């Protein structure tokens, strides 16, 4: 069975055998990283059923993950949750990709910004190229 790779992942706690989205009320950490994701989610799920929790920071998601809960999240969030016992499933019909832009006035690039970009570039190089696309050089 061929699966298309997507940048968004379906996450469940290890040990839970059924990787289906059977209990929509078990969704935790509903992130809406852009309008396209919100649109995709509302087209595929009943928006009147609230998630278990809505969080501002992905780092908190691990505290709310239970055996039967699930979420969608970007790859970088998924690998953090995996360290806390989550299983990662790639979605065949995934939501739109998350795009993050970095904009700065060329005249205002300070040493701190240069160092940040250098560290960010090095970190991005450690991630799989089919999951993260970076145009930083």
Quote the CA–CA distance of 61 and 84 in Å, as a whole number: 10
Work out how many domains the chain is built from and give that number.
Answer: 2
Report if pTM > 0.85.
no
Tens-place pLDDT, residues 97-111: 777 777 777 777 688
Does some domain include residue 96? Answer: no
Range of the domain at 43: 8-90
Q: Which residue has the higher pLDDT, 27 or 122?
A: 122
Q: Is residue 3 part of a domain?
A: no
pLDDT tens per residue, range 5-31: 334 455 554 444 444 555 666 777 666
Cα–Cα distance between 82 and 84 in angstroms, integer? 5
Same domain, 105 and 125: yes
Residue 119: per-residue pLDDT: 92
pLDDT digit string, tens, across residues 31-87: 666 788 888 888 877 888 888 887 777 778 888 887 778 888 778 888 888 888 888
β partners of residue 121: none
């Amino acid at each position: 069975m061929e699966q298309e790779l997507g940048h968004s992942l379906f996450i469940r706690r290890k040990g839970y055998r059924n990787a289906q989205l059977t209990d929509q009320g078990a969704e935790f950490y509903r992130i809406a990283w852009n309008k396209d994701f919100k649109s995709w989610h509302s087209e595929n799920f009943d928006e009147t059923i609230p998630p278990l929790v809505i969080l501002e920071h992905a780092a908190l998601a691990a505290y709310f993950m239970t055996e039967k809960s699930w979420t969608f999240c970007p790859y970088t969030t998924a690998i953090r949750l995996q360290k806390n016992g989550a299983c990662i499933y790639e979605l065949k019909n995934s939501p739109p990709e998350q795009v993050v832009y970095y904009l700065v006035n060329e005249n205002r690039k300070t040493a701190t910004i240069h160092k940040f970009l250098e560290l960010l570039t090095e970190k991005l190089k450690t991630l799989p190229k089919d999951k993260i696309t970076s145009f930083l050089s």
